[in-house]
Each structure stands twice: as C-alpha cells, then as structure tokens.
Amino acid sequence: MSLKVETNRFSERYTDLASRRLGGQTLSCSDDFFAEMENLLKPGRGVFIDDKYTDRGKWMDGWESRRRRFRPDGSSSDGLDHDWCIIKLGAQGKIVGINADTNHFLGNAPQKVSMEACCIKGEPNEATEWTEIVPITEVQPGSENLIDASVEGVWTHVRFHIYPDGGVARLRVYGDVVPDWDWFLDGEPVDLAYIKNGARPLVCSDMFFSHMENLIMPERGANMGDGWETKRRRAMGDETLDRDNDWYILQLAAKGSVQKILIDTCHFKGNYPDAFAIEGAVLTDEQAADIELLKADAHADALTKQTVSDADINWQPIIGRTKLYEDREHTFKAELENTATAFTHVRIKMYPDGGISRLRLWGFPESQG
C-alpha cells in the first residue's frame, strides 16, 4: 500500500514526454535484475500482487536493480555507486519536472534520484554530453515524488539516476513538446492538432470520463477510454443548462490555416455526439494567459469556463455544425471555411455531449519554427 499521495501539479498542465503512447522508450540501464526497465514507462501507477514471484525474487511492477554492497574502503560490489537508466523521449521538448513514483516500493525504494538530459540525433554514446536538469533529490517510498527541473532547454533523451539502488514503479517526464521543424518539407501540410507536432489542449467544458489530451494523441483510439468524453448533461424541470454543447480549446502546433479535418468517433457507439463544429481564432498573449489560468483552476465551473472562452475572442467558423456517426472516421475538405486565414487556436464543439476519439487538422503553418 502507498504511504503518501501527492497532488500531481504537472499532469493537468503538461505532457508526459516519455510516454510510450508518444514513442518513449527505455534504451539501456546499469542493472534491472529484479524488474525490467521497460516497466518505468507503462501506464498507471503500478500494481502489487502479493504472492507473485519469479525465479529472481518478488515480482515488482517497476524498474528494480539488485542490492549494491559497499566495502569498508568505499568501493562497491559492481564498481558503481548508483544505478541509471537512459530513456528516449517520445517527443522532444522542454522539461519542467518529473514524477519518480515509488508506488509499492517500500523497503526497496531508492533514497535519492536525479536526471540528466541531452539533445542529439541518433543514439546516446560515450561521447554524448549530458546536462543535469534535476539535481540529486531525496524521495519517499510508496509515493509520487514530484520534482522541478532546474535547467531550461530542448531535450531528446534523459538519463535517470537512482541512489544507491532500488526500485521505481513509474517515471513521468513532464513538459511541452517542441517540434523539430527541420524535419518538415517546404510546403508540406502539417497536422496542426497533433501532440507530437506541438499542439496542446488548454481547457474544455468537461472531461468527466476521459482526458482531453487523448484527442490529439497518435494512432486511433485503443478503446472507448482513449478519447475525450464528457458526462451526460441533464436539465430537470425549469432548470436550464449553462450551454447547449460541450467544447474544447486547442492551441495549434503553429499559427496556420486549416485545410482538411478528420474527426474519429472510434469505439463511441451509444455515446458519440450528434454533431460537431470547429471555430478558429488568433489569441493575444493576454487571452491565452487567461485560459491557462483557467486550466489551472480546478474549482472553475462550466459557466466561468464558457465566459472566458468567449470573452473578446473573435471566433471564426472553420466548419459549421455537421452530423456525426458512431464508430467512424469522418473527413472534411470542401465543407471548410476561412481556409486562407491563419489561426493560433481552435475551439471544437460537440452537440450536445458525448465522446470523440481523435481530431486531425491538416494545414499550412504561417511560418515554420
């Protein structure tokens, strides 16, 4: 059982850049005798099965190294003073903090952790220059250990250290995606709503059943939980609803014009929206900051969110209210409006509520980078 639960101040605002869903991968480690390094990037917090053992000892849902023995002269049994694991981020970006989650690791958690990062093409090697972005920090067993990153930069790989040995259930590396615009060809259409291209969800009217970030994730949804789904809204008697639709504001990967749309209701059958619409706008820094503050306010009600999303923002139609169908990819091109206008943000509306699995918005950045 976990000893401590800490509110995750990173997860609502930032993206887990090391997530397997984005393509994150553990490349190598000093030792994973008891539990494989690949477990670090699995979803969830890790589970504990009381009577499950392997031929190496107790089965643990995380990364766990063997016990390191130190001699009186300070040397260790394997010549190392701590363990490490190198991880390729699923998307390069700026790192603001990490979550070294020691869930279920109680008598076998490390005492301290740290992290280094690099920005390279290809694989890390002995010549790679690493920068410390998280200094050596004490961690608690059975806990989510949230630690701020101390150095700015754009990173492609991280090296996670634990001192002197032990186990960590999950590692999350939170930050903002920063795309490599050199990868794109001149004049190439870009999915402006794709998380790995730098798109970012800001705020939505409701995400009771599943997180809004799912809408811009890679590939098709794995199941009904892998999308954006709102609760069923009810009006009882003379009561009126604060809105006639659910909505979602997305910061595009770059300021650009939208030329093609894909809306996927994969797995949503009895709960897909009847219709959707998309609007675009160019937000000032102040307007974007107001929405960021709203996102951070866990107590903001739907009416407050609606007021901020409408306030002095010139929303222009990209596609008007359009019928949707269950469990289907819907594509639109000829139906679009304002295709010559470059927007920084879009607002997706779904009528009246329900779930959408994925959104794709192909267009042309006004300027790449």
What pLDDT sits at residue 233? 79
Backbone angles phi, psi at 83, to 5 degrees: -110, 160
Within 10 A of 168 (CB to CB), how many other CB atoms are there? 30
**Nearest residue to 48 via CA among 5, 104, 108, 106:** 104
Domains of the chain: 15-177 (2.60.120.260), 183-365 (2.60.120.260)
What pLDDT sits at residue 146? 97
**Nearest residue to 171 via CA among 320, 76, 336, 39:** 39
Q: What is the CA radius of gyration of the chain?
A: 23
What pLDDT sits at residue 73? 87
Beta strands in 139-199, from DSSP E residues, in sequence order: 144-148, 155-163, 167-168, 170-177, 190-191
What pLDDT sits at residue 316? 97
Strands 63-64 and 167-168 come out as: antiparallel
Tens of pLDDT along the chain (369 residues) come to 344 445 678 988 899 999 999 999 999 999 999 999 999 999 999 999 999 999 999 999 999 999 998 989 888 888 899 999 999 999 999 999 999 999 999 999 999 999 999 999 999 999 999 999 999 999 999 999 999 999 999 999 999 999 999 999 999 999 999 999 999 998 899 999 999 999 999 999 999 999 999 999 999 999 999 999 999 976 644 545 556 899 999 999 999 999 999 999 999 999 999 999 999 999 998 888 888 777 666 556 666 777 777 778 999 999 999 999 999 999 999 999 999 999 999 999 999 999 999 999 999 999 865
What pLDDT sits at residue 1? 39
Q: Which residues contact 27 (CB under 8 A, 6 or more apart)?
A: 86, 87, 88, 123, 124, 157
Q: Which residues of 49-74 are buried (b: 16+ CB within 10 A; e: fewer)?
A: eeeeeeeeebebbbbbbbebeeeeee
DSSP structure class, residue 329 = E
Taking the C-alpha atoms of residue 367 and residue 285, their distance in angstroms, rounded to an integer, is 18
